[in-house]
Amino acid sequence: MTVKLKEQNELNQKLVYQSLQFVNMNLSMLQPQSDQTNYSRPAGNKGQAAGKPMFDSKA
């Protein structure tokens, strides 16, 4: 009886592990991880010349 119970437990562990892998795979497909977490300005978009202030303080 204990051998059968042990085999059943091992099978259940494998099934739970496979189920978790399936859930994790689906979550990663729905929410892909971005490569970059910080904002950076695109290379071609230079909104302002270097060294020139954004606001005119002489006003």
Q: Which residue has the tokens 């060294």?
A: 51
- Distance, in Å, from the CA atom of 8 to the CA atom of 25, rounded to the nearest integer, reads 26
Tens digits of residue pLDDT in 23-33: 999 998 888 66
| pLDDT on residue 36 | 65
Reported confidence tier of residue 16, pLDDT bands at 50, 70, 90: very high
Dig out the tokens for 12 from the structure. Answer: 């259940």
pLDDT score for 10: 97
- Kindly report the backbone phi and psi dihedral angles of residue 58, in degrees, each rounded to the nearest multiple of 5, phi listed first: -85, -5
Average per-residue pLDDT for the chain? 80
